[in-house]
Amino acid sequence: MKNTARKMETRDDRIMGIMKEMNRASLPNSFVLDVCLLARQDNSILGLMELWADESDKDERAEIIADLQDHIDDDKELPRDGKPAEASKISFHNLDSLASDIVGFKAKFKDLIDRHGGPVAVAKKVGMPQPSLSRLLNSGSMPRRSTLYKIAKALNLSETDVAGE
Amino acid sequence: MGIVITGWALQSYLDLKHRHEFSDQEYQKNFRPDAERLKVFPNDPKFKVRGFWGPATKGNGVNVSDGYKMKWDSVGPGRNELRLCVAIMGPNAFLCQAYIKKGKNDLRECLNLERYITLICQGRYVDRGSL
């Protein structure tokens, strides 16, 4: 989408235009709907959508989609009572062991995903964008419990099967 | 000034560590002491060095409100450019995320920062501790 044409459009027109493009790109309907709702409230989300629409590089586009899914998850999960979520404090000296636990968990998780048809098939079953599942599998960050449960449900597994003990 | 480590910052740290983007030595000798300069923000002279500290911009010279970047060059075996996004709000500096600048990701990361700042303003973030 070109900037000059964009200036003539209303905010809703821009969101609808990108929504159609996201549907054509076969992104899951629930993702497209959630991201459009968020973009109506937040300029940075709309900015990311526009960045995705303008981007030609496949890898960067995938990163934008994974970022948008993270923002959707944040919006659903973060508290709305004005108080920051309390999480266990991790001391710097424990970060190495945490990082190695995550790597160990992800190796097992990758096996499980492969046993169920691989990332593309599983992402489709779960209804999540494939770049988000790829990020979950390949990054060193902690997976969200909510995402693991969503995957467990879609694969007809117990939460323990997916998230471990 | 208090330095708050957000959940997003912790996640990005773990990912960069996983990718071996920097060494423990670099972290302990450079990045952490530099981040701790935020305790006396803006009085440390290093905040006047443009190559080290500056506003986060969304492109076209538009700044992300309350958003800043701490910058290091020639980081790790890849001699990469490391960026730490910081939100300065009231009496606190919020560490929001760190990333390796490559290709066109700078604009995307600034938009992500802008979203984090919106959420922080609403008290919607995970507090993972302080420096």
pLDDT in tens, A52-62: 999 999 999 99
Please say if the pLDDT value at position B83 is more than 60: yes
Q: What is the DSSP letter of B37?
A: G
How are beta strands B80-89 and B92-101 bridged, if at all?
antiparallel
Give the predicted TM-score (pTM) of the model.
0.94
What is the model's pLDDT at position A22? Answer: 98
Q: What is the pLDDT of residue A91?
A: 79
Distance of alpha carbon A68 from alpha carbon A48, whole angstroms? 7
- Residue A51's pLDDT is what? 96
- The stretch B45-68 carries a mean pLDDT of 94
Mean pLDDT over each residue of chain B, to the nearest integer = 95
Picking from A141, A144, A146 by the largest number of B CB atoms within 10 A of its own CB, the best residue to mutate is A141
CA dist B116 and A35 (Å) reads 16
pLDDT above 70: percentage of residues in chain B: 100
Interchain pair B15, A98: CB under 8 A: no
Q: What is the DSSP code (8-state) at residue A116?
A: T
What's the complex ipTM?
0.95
Burial A1-19 (b: 16+ CB within 10 A, else e): eeeeeeeeeeeeebbebbb
Q: What mean pLDDT is predicted for residues B21-50?
A: 96
Answer whether B93's CB lies under 8 Å from B4's CB: yes
Which DSSP symbol is given to B31?
I
Looking up tokens 């990005």 gives B12
Residue B17 to residue A140, Cβ atoms within 8 A: yes
Nearest to B14 among A42, A71, A141 (CB): A141
- In a 3-state reduction of DSSP, which class is residue A24? helix
Is the model's pLDDT at B68 over the cut of 80? yes
pLDDT at A140: 94
Q: What are phi and psi of B37, to 5 degrees?
A: -60, -20
Q: Residue B58 pLDDT > 70, yes or no?
A: yes
Mutation target for B interface from A55, A78, A88, A102: give the one with most B CBs within 10 A: A78
Helix (H) or strand (E) holding B56, with range, is strand B53-57
Q: Does B121 touch chain A (CB under 8 A)?
A: no
- Tokens linked to A19: 């929504």
Question: Can you give the pLDDT at residue A9?
Answer: 82
How far apart, in Å, are the Cα atoms of A38 and each of A19, A42, A73, B62, B100?
12, 6, 11, 22, 27
Question: Which portions of chain A are predicted below pLDDT 70?
Answer: 1-7, 165
Instruction: Please indicate whether residue B70 or residue B129 has the higher confidence score (pLDDT).
Output: B70
